[in-house]
Amino acid sequence: MANGPPAVELVDLRKSFGDHVVLDGLTLRVPTGGVHALLGQNGAGKTTTVRILATLTRPDSGTARVAGHDVVRQRRRVRRAISLAGQHAALDDGQTGVENLTMLARLAGLRAPAARARAAALLDRFDLADAAGRRVVTYSGGMRRRLDLAASLVGAPSVIFLDEPTTGLDPRSRQGLWEVIGELAGAGVTVLLTTQYLEEADRLADRIMVLHDGGLVAEGTALDLKRRFGAQRLELTWRDAAGLAAAARRLGDRVTHRDPARLALSVATDGTAPQVRGLLDEVDPDRHGVVRFTVREATLDDVFFTLTGRPASPEREVARV
């Protein structure tokens, strides 16, 4: 990632809707360049954060800067530097793909010949040239998302916000969009991505930030977060619900994930034989309850459950790795 001033910087950002606190002193810094993923449960404040950064919502207090510009005092400068692709494609279904992009290029201030050239270049870049003359209403979901991303790049932004861009797409379309996002980052654009698909963050993001209860609870690379919150997991499957419940009581807050439907739970481990034997003896001293166990590497799912499954303290300490 490039050195220099951050692409995005938030300091003590707060936002409430009525009595509901959405952002509670959020502070984070996004370096210039690369893909940065913002993770969190529904209601954690991801979309609100993006809307504030895109100047669509005003914060109650704190400061937010994008490309060096304050999102409240310098809204026009922010808007010239950014683009936003939301959860739903913002396209005119009655127009063709080329008409959509040409119209947006004209609205961005390009003359007609330049607008047509810009539209053609983007359609080619996003593998939509063959569908340029078709009305958008005939496009598949994956094609619409690619066209929406192309539309967001008409103005050549330095920072692009993607709010759950692959929601509702089939696996093949998601894969295609992942490739496009990688190309954007490779071209020097700073991409801030919100997603509920943890494998998406694992695959795409140079750095991951986890929100919980309106604040930042951890940030780092995917590998660093996995190491920080347990390099391996011991997964235990129980004979019955009573044994599962008893084991959960013994382990307490060491349980990283629990799945009553599968009669399974997970606990962090270093993977060594002595520790695994010790855990098995601790939770199943009679050796009649556990029917199967597996030791595996931690995933972002484990990180997510560990971080968001515990209550946030009033004075939140961020785990930076």
Residue 7 makes CB contacts below 8 A (sequence gap 6+) with 30, 31, 32, 33, 66, 67, 158, 159, 190, 192
49 closest CA partner among 21, 85, 13, 18: 13
For residue 35, the enclosing domain spans 8-226
* pLDDT recorded at residue 239: 94
Domain count, the chain: 2
Given 226, 260, 287, which residue is the final one in a domain? 226
Given 181, 196, 226, which residue is the final one in a domain? 226
In a shared domain, residues 158 and 290: no
User: Mind listing the pLDDT tens digit for each residue in 194-210?
Assistant: 988 888 899 999 999 99
Q: Which two tokens stand for residue 263?
A: 């009669």
The answer to the question of residue 317 being in a domain is no
Residue 313 has pLDDT above 50, yes or no: no
| 247 close to 210: Cβ distance less than 8 angstroms | no
Residue 315 has pLDDT above 50, yes or no: no
Would you place residue 311 in the very low, low, confident or very high pLDDT band (cuts 50, 70, 90)?
Answer: very low
User: Mind listing the pLDDT tens digit for each residue in 250-277?
Assistant: 999 888 788 999 999 988 888 889 999 9
